[in-house]
A and B are shown apart, each in its own frame.
Chain A
Amino acid sequence: MLFVLAAVCAVLLSVNLYKIFMILPDEANQGAIYRIVYVHVPAIFTGFTGFFIALGASAAYLITGKLKYDAFAAAVTEVALAFATIVLATGMIWGRIIWGIWWAWDARLTTMLACWLIYAGYLMLRRAIDEPTQRARLSAVVSIFGCVDILIVWKSIEWWRTQHPAPVLSVRDGGGMGPGMEAPIYWNWLAFMCLAAILVIVRTRQERMAREIDSLRRMAHAY
């Protein structure tokens, strides 16, 4: 399974990078730097997809009380946070050229930073609590609240006047990209989702191993 996903991811990324660098022309106003959008947007789609999956897993834990859902939510959140970090880093590099500054405290950037901090806080909370059921219950609540911020991040460029560009994708009635320039964004999203799936599988296995260590330790102390 892992090898199939890795192969699909490698093929997709190779084809996409070839298209992005060798076929697509520079954007009329921004030049070459616009190509960062092919990492920035797929990374945020992957990150937000991960956070919503974690929301589902957290809700499943609260309903059923099964720790496997909590472990899965933790794994997905950690991987999604890595993609959210890519979003912030690539956005800052793009802003340095287009705006002349690394950071602007506008609504989109600030809510995205808040989102990153909420989920980083989620992972720190998990490290701070030793008791498994209490840790699972509290982190599930943080995960569910965190998703509210995702909706604010998503709508922020419509609700407030921001320095961040308005929607450009046709799915959001943007239509600001030239023909053929939009498709690689979705293909890269698919490639990133394959990569994220690999990382989540590995991370979930590690959560299982950590649980096994806990039960072995309890067994050793019982003797």
Chain B
Amino acid sequence: MIDARNFTYMFYGFAAAFVILVVYVVSLALREHKLRSEIDRVRRMVEQSEKKI
């Protein structure tokens, strides 16, 4: 019983590390996507302002 719990918690330990890294990588990817669309939006805004002038 103790050995089985021991093995299960070892799995939890490795899984926790993996999940933390995956969550961080996904958050980075989402942030990158948001920044790229924001850059495009602001560039268009600058171009429109230049055309008006």
- A residues engaging B (CB < 8 A)? 30-33, 35-36, 39-40, 43, 79, 82, 85-86, 89-90, 93-94, 96-97, 195, 199, 202-203, 206, 209-210, 212-213, 216-217, 219-220, 223
Bound-complex Cα distance A212 to B10 (A): 45
Residues B6 and A89 in contact, CB atoms below 8 Å apart: no
* Size of the chain B interface, CB-CB below 8 angstroms: 31
Residues A219 and B46 in contact, CB atoms below 8 Å apart: yes
Residues A206 and B31 in contact, CB atoms below 8 Å apart: yes
- Given A35-B10, A43-B17, A82-B20 in contact, is the A217-B42 Cβ separation under 8 Å? yes
Residues A31 and B17 in contact, CB atoms below 8 Å apart: no
Residues A36 and B28 in contact, CB atoms below 8 Å apart: no
Residues B35 and A90 in contact, CB atoms below 8 Å apart: no
Chain A interface, DSSP helix/strand/loop, else mixed: helix
User: 11 new A-B pairs (CB below 8 Å) besides A36-B13, A223-B50?
Assistant: A31-B3, A33-B6, A33-B10, A90-B16, A90-B17, A209-B36, A213-B38, A213-B42, A216-B39, A216-B45, A223-B46
**Cβ-closest chain B residue relative to A205:** B32
Residues of chain A contacted by B24 (CB below 8 angstroms): 79, 82, 199
Partner of B16, one of A30, A86, A97, A223: A86
- Closest beta carbon of chain B to A93's beta carbon, Å: 4
Chain B interface, DSSP helix/strand/loop, else mixed: helix
Partner of A90, one of B13, B28, B46, B49: B13
Residues of chain B contacted by A217 (CB below 8 angstroms): 42
- B residues engaging A (CB < 8 A)? 2-3, 5-7, 9-10, 12-14, 16-17, 20-21, 24-25, 28, 31-32, 35-36, 38-39, 42-43, 45-46, 49-50, 52-53
- Closest beta carbon of chain A to B41's beta carbon, Å: 9
- Closest beta carbon of chain A to B23's beta carbon, Å: 9
**Cβ-closest chain A residue relative to B7:** A32
- Closest beta carbon of chain B to A51's beta carbon, Å: 16
Residues A97 and B38 in contact, CB atoms below 8 Å apart: no
Residues A220 and B39 in contact, CB atoms below 8 Å apart: no
Partner of A36, one of B5, B14, B32, B35: B14
Residues A216 and B5 in contact, CB atoms below 8 Å apart: no
- Given A86-B20, A216-B43 in contact, is the A97-B6 Cβ separation under 8 Å? yes
**Cβ-closest chain B residue relative to A20:** B14
- Given A219-B46, A223-B52 in contact, is the A206-B6 Cβ separation under 8 Å? no
**Cβ-closest chain B residue relative to A30:** B6
- Given A33-B10, A89-B16 in contact, is the A195-B3 Cβ separation under 8 Å? no
